[in-house]
Amino acid sequence: MIEILGNAMTDAAMQNSPDFLHKIMRPASRAVTPILILVAWQIASGSGLIPERTLASPLHVLGTFWSLIADGELQDNLLVSLRRAMEGLAIGVSLGTIFALISGLSRSGEAAVDAPLQILRAIPFLALVPLFILWFGIGETPKIALVALGTIYPVYLNLYAGIRGIDKKLLEAGACFGLNRWQILRHIVLPGALPSFLVGLRYAVGISWLSLVVAEQINASSGIGYLIMSARDFMRTDIIVVGLVVYGLLGLLTDIFIRTLEHRALAWRPSILKG
Amino acid sequence: MDTKPLSSTDVAVRGLTRRFGATTVLRGLDLDIAGGEFVALLGRSGSGKTTFLRTLAGLDPVSEGDVRLPATRAVVFQEPRLMPWKKVWQNVTLGLNGGDARERAVAALKEVGLEHRLDAWPVTLSGGEAQRVALARALVREPRLLLLDEPFAALDALTRIRMHELVSALWAAHRPSVLLVTHDVDEALLLADRALVLENGRIRTELKITQPHPRARAMMGFSSMRAELLSALGVDVDGTISKPADLSFCRKTDEVKSRRGLSVIHSA
């Protein structure tokens, strides 16, 4: 809470700042160091300080990036990866939401659902990969299942906390103004828990890429992870770096997507109203 | 207590007792409110005022005693309790059915002078505006009984004066029966037909105020009525305290403020 207040204060201070240039110059000044690192990397590669088999030069990576797009290899594998992530995410977010509603809305539901989920959560889900391969083979299923498993928890934990954190006074006001149980759920509980749900969703998207990296490096014949692993066999560090950059961009883009979603869905919040 | 039942009684409470564990908050309370009557209920902190109002609102159960109430009731709480994710007009229509809900909300908001804030988010309202929305939300239900639970306690003095005028005007226009729970003796004298003091779970003092509306502090008999109510609340006219001091009032007001603050942060 204190952190949120702090952010709001710095935002307000920035808006009131007469130094308008400061706002434009700040992103520019932040780009200086990454660019310098890229230039240093290029010089080190060009002079032979960093051998090609250790790490390809930025310009070489850029060239490979372009040729992978030109022959369609990158797009094909990207689509496969995206599909796995989205399918797993859809399953995981749905299950997480259902479990959170069950244990958030009733004490008996909490007793039934929360304890087993908390116990399972103690196991790092990536450790289940061997078991998943035994159960689901080496096709699409274990990869999607791994993403689904990893994304259940952030959605469950955040939405559950959001539902339980609803202001009791608002619930009382709702009952007082004649809302029935379903209307209280729809007009008070769900909108009130939405901010927490979106926090959970943002974590879930991050975890979906993480689990995909692991899943695609085991027994995959397509996908960005497969592209990276097969490049390793031929010591193609340029392709490996392209794969890493793609993973990074995917994370960045999905984060922007969720932020946009938050801005639209949570227009009533003071932090968004100020921005 | 010799509250004579009036011809058209809206609220009839007989022998209402309410216990929380070992403490008895209300002991055999009797009260009648006539149709269209404005009753102010005073009492020190912990005297059971709010418990009584909650019982009339249907938020607390009646375990001992008999309570007869009109079917349509509405409450304005100490804090506005608006849903931060609903626009002002949607807060007013909360729980209403029918296609004309928005028009009714607009009319109610016009009455409280907020027709220009229909589509505003609650966080952008001032304390007084938020409380006026809460008032519109209660009015739009056309209640026979309006329950006001210290609705002006957390407002600044100037806003409170304007809210008194507004409530007085709305009451004159719609004539619901009103039960106003308050700490403020002046507020009771300016608004109510009858002021009651709750003590040890029963109504100990009753004062009829017959002066015509709108009233001012300069009206006839104001200071003697004020002294009488204050003395019933344990404060002598010259300001000395005759009964054990109850300073928890100050703390309670602070709590109200911090709760209001917290709810804003909570929605951040």
For A190-226, the DSSP string reads HHHHHHHHHHHHHHHHHHHHHHHHHHHTSS-SSSHHH
Q: Give how far A165 is from chain B: nearest CA, Å.
A: 9
For residue A16, give the amino acid letter: N
Q: Taking 70 as the threshold, does the pLDDT of residue B258 lie above it? A: no
Average pLDDT over residues B204-216: 87
Question: Helix, strand, or coil here: B128?
Answer: helix
Mean pLDDT of chain A: 88
Task: Compare CB distances from A169 to B58, B81, B121 and report the shortest one's residue.
Answer: B81
Name the nearest CA neighbour of A251 among A197, A211, A195. Answer: A211
A182 in contact with chain B, both atoms CB, cutoff 8 A: no
Q: Taking 90 as the threshold, does the pLDDT of residue B248 lie above it? A: no
Number of CB pairs < 8 Å for A and B? Answer: 69
- Tokens read off for A163: 């539902």
Three-point CA angle B136, B139, B142, nearest 5°: 155
Q: What percent of chain B clears pLDDT 70, i.e. is strictly above it?
A: 85
CA dist list (Å): B268 to A172, A269, A271, B264: 21, 6, 6, 7
Calpha distance A207→A221 (Å, rounded): 22
Three-point CA angle B65, B66, B72, nearest 5°: 135
A167 interaction partners in chain B (CB closer than 8 Å): 263, 266
φ/ψ of B196, rounded to 5, equals: -120, 145
Query: Residues of A175-197 as b/e, b for ≥16 C-beta within 10 angstroms?
Result: bbbbbeeeebbebbbbbbbbbbb
A266 interaction partners in chain B (CB closer than 8 Å): 85
- The percent helix, strand, coil of chain B (3-state, each to 5) is 35, 25, 40
Q: What percent of chain A clears pLDDT 90, i.e. is strictly above it?
A: 71
User: In this predicted structure, what is the pLDDT of residue A7?
Assistant: 44
Query: Residues of B111-140 as b/e, b for ≥16 C-beta within 10 angstroms?
Result: bbebbebbeebbbebebbbbbbbbbbbbbb
User: In this predicted structure, what is the pLDDT of residue A18?
Assistant: 53
Query: What does the pLDDT look like over A171-194, one tens digit per residue?
Result: 999 998 989 999 999 999 999 999
Average pLDDT over residues B229-258: 60
Q: What percent of chain A clears pLDDT 70, i.e. is strictly above it?
A: 91
Query: What does the pLDDT look like over B57-101, one tens digit per residue?
Result: 999 989 899 999 998 999 999 999 999 999 999 999 998 888 899
Residue of B nearest to A167 (CA): B263
A11 in contact with chain B, both atoms CB, cutoff 8 A: no
Q: Give how far A258 is from chain B: nearest CA, Å.
A: 18
Task: Compare CB distances from A187 to B87, B94, B121 and report the shortest one's residue.
Answer: B94
Name the nearest CA neighbour of B34 among B53, B14, B10. Answer: B10
Residue to substitute from A4, A176, A190, A264, interface B, most B β-carbons within 10 A: A176
* Interface predicted TM-score (ipTM): 0.80
- Binned at pLDDT 50, 70 and 90, residue B231 comes out as confident
Task: Mark out chain B residues that contact chain A at CB-CB < 8 A.
Answer: 57-59, 74-75, 77, 79, 81, 83-87, 94-95, 121-124, 137, 141, 263-268
Give the other-Cβ count within 10 Å of B103's Cβ.
12
Query: What does the pLDDT look like over B100-134, one tens digit per residue?
Result: 999 999 999 999 999 999 999 999 999 999 999 99
User: In this predicted structure, what is the pLDDT of residue B181?
Assistant: 96
For residue B229, give the amino acid letter: L
Task: Compare CB distances from B124 to A169, A266, A273 and report the shortest one's residue.
Answer: A273
Query: What does the pLDDT look like over A225-273, one tens digit per residue?
Result: 999 999 999 999 999 999 999 999 998 999 899 999 999 999 898 777 7
Q: Taking 90 as the threshold, does the pLDDT of residue B189 lie above it? A: yes
φ/ψ of A19, rounded to 5, equals: -80, 85
Query: What does the pLDDT look like over A194-210, one tens digit per residue?
Result: 999 999 999 999 999 99
Average pLDDT over residues A8-33: 64
User: In this predicted structure, what is the pLDDT of residue B178?
Assistant: 97
φ/ψ of A221, rounded to 5, equals: -120, 10
Q: Give me the residue label for tokens 């883009």.
A: A253
- Binned at pLDDT 50, 70 and 90, residue B145 comes out as very high
Q: Taking 70 as the threshold, does the pLDDT of residue A121 lie above it? A: yes
Residue to substitute from B81, B97, B263, interface A, most A β-carbons within 10 A: B81
Sign of CA dihedral A191, A10, A204, A160: negative
A185 in contact with chain B, both atoms CB, cutoff 8 A: no
User: In this predicted structure, what is the pLDDT of residue B220?
Assistant: 79
Q: Are B102 and B130 in contact (CB under 8 A)?
A: no
What does chain A look like in DSSP terms, one character per residue?
A: -HHHHHHHHHHHHHHH-S-HHHHHHHHHHHHHHHHHHHHHHHHHHHTTSS-TTT---HHHHHHHHHHHHHTTHHHHHHHHHHHHHHHHHHHHHHHHHHHHHHHHH-HHHHHHHHHHHHHHHTS-GGGGHHHHHHHHTTSSHHHHHHHHHHHHHHHHHHHHHHHHTS-HHHHHHHHHTT--HHHHIIIIIHHHHHHHHHHHHHHHHHHHHHHHHHHHTSS-SSSHHHHHHHHHHTT-HHHHHHHHHHHHHHHHHHHHHHHHHHHHHTTTSHHHHH-
Residue of B nearest to A178 (CA): B95
